[in-house]
Amino acid sequence: MPNELQEVKFYQTGTFTVGNRLLDENERAVQANMRRTNSLNSGHRACQGCGEALGARYAIDAAMRATDNRIVAVNATGCLEVFSTPYPESSWQIPWIHSLFGNAAAVASGVAAALRVTGRTSTRVVAQGGDGGTTDIGFGCLSGMFERNDDVLYICYDNEAYMNTGVQRSSATPPTARTATTMAVGKEPGNVFGTGKNVPLIAMAHFIPYVATASVANLRDLEFKVTKAMSIHGARYVHIHVPCPLGWGSAPADTIKLARLAVETGLFPLFEAEHGEITGSTKIRRKVPVEDYLRLQKRFAHLFGSNPDEARLARIQANADRNIAKFGLMD
Ligand SMILES: Cc1ncc(C[n+]2csc(CCOP(=O)(O)OP(=O)(O)O)c2C)c(N)n1
Ligand code: SF4
């Protein structure tokens, strides 16, 4: 049979494609390992193209591998919790506890304390939540966890709004974005400029051992940062940019593309920091104008059309350029 004689094309050899089992062992991503944990398993109910589901799958599998499969995860209320655990089902294959919307960091601190006093220090704790649960309602508990230097890795999946309850603005929503609570009408359509907060920088101001930003556009970098975070004791924070097709009005197939454009425009800088000092940032290889990123999302549609809002586009571009300078993203 001619088919039996066809040569197998190992076309991925030599690339860093995630899942590539043809690379050397030390170059493979966690997901390429046959013994990956699949901590967040198939069968959950996230939307097609959900960046949060992808980010959580990679982050938690990396945390599992780094700890010899010994973690407890605490999950704030939000999309990740809702789509993964519709009672009585669960897609989690790890010890997992649902806290309230605003207290995941405090519950995680309690779990870490319980493990410590019972002598089970080889089991580590990860807390996770959306940007609403992290930057808004959970912010006080998170700051306390940082300030006490509790032995917890907190992961924020930043989709830039409260998605689970119908796309309300959070303090991570970018300027001009249309949400259910920042309508594209009036003198300043969408979310206003000059609001919000940068939680990775605020985490750094607590001088905790490790802070990093990551993106589902670069899953190997994401895995590296989570792995590094699990090698450290004390309070750690990883902030992951996760596009949300439903809330952003983007095509499900564009999730990775959008995450990459956010990085390449400078709007979402990738960096690491230790004890309050930035220790490294990912350079932008090919700078992209912010319009290329914004145009793909209906939440920014009011900036375009027959009469583009040049003034606001220029202000967003200025924000991106400020990040590029501040975080040293270009040589
Ligand atoms: C005290 C309290 N207020 C409001 C809610 C309703 N609520 C549940 S999830 C959610 C939004 C979650 O948004 P975010 O943390 O950004 O996560 P996402 O769903 O976007 O992943 C809200 C408002 C709640 N559960 N508890
Ligand atoms: S609304 Fe957004 S964050 Fe929530 S499951 Fe859908 S794509 Fe994911």
Q: Do residues 60 and 73 lie in contact, with contact meaning Cβ atoms separated by under 8 Å?
A: yes
CA distance 31 to 19: 5
CA distance 170 to 179: 9
Q: Do residues 138 and 101 lie in contact, with contact meaning Cβ atoms separated by under 8 Å?
A: yes
> H-helix or E-strand containing 61?
helix 51-66
CA distance 24 to 12: 12
CA distance 58 to 64: 10
Q: Do residues 126 and 94 lie in contact, with contact meaning Cβ atoms separated by under 8 Å?
A: no
Tell me the C-alpha to C-alpha distance, in Å, between residue 132 and each of 169, 183, 212.
8, 18, 18
End-to-end C-alpha distance for the chain, whole angstroms: 56
Ligand 2 atom with the shortest distance to the CA of 51:
8
SS3 category, 239: strand
Cα 114 to averaged position of ligand 2 atoms, centre (Å): 33
Residue nearest to ligand 1 atom 22, measured at CA: 165
Q: Do residues 99 and 76 lie in contact, with contact meaning Cβ atoms separated by under 8 Å?
A: yes
Residue nearest to ligand 1 atom 3, measured at CA: 101
Cα 238 to averaged position of ligand 1 atoms, centre (Å): 19
Ligand 2, CB within 6 Å, residue ranges: 46-47, 50, 52, 79, 83, 159, 163, 244-247
The preferred substitution site among 40, 48, 50 for testing ligand 2, maximizing ligand atoms within 8 Å of CB, is: 50
Q: Do residues 125 and 108 lie in contact, with contact meaning Cβ atoms separated by under 8 Å?
A: yes
Spell out the residues 6+ positions from residue 134 whose beta carbon is closer than 8 angstroms to its own.
Answer: 76, 142, 154, 156, 158, 199
Residue nearest to ligand 1 atom 6, measured at CA: 165
Give me the tens of pLDDT residue by residue for the chain, a chain 331 residues long: 455 665 544 445 545 454 566 667 777 777 777 778 899 999 999 999 999 999 999 999 999 999 999 999 999 999 999 999 999 999 999 999 999 999 999 999 999 999 999 999 999 999 999 999 999 999 999 999 999 999 999 999 999 999 999 999 999 999 999 999 999 999 999 999 999 999 999 999 999 999 999 999 999 999 999 999 999 999 999 999 999 999 999 999 999 999 999 999 999 999 999 999 999 999 999 999 999 999 999 999 999 999 999 999 999 999 999 999 999 999 8
Ligand 1 atom with the shortest distance to the CA of 131:
16
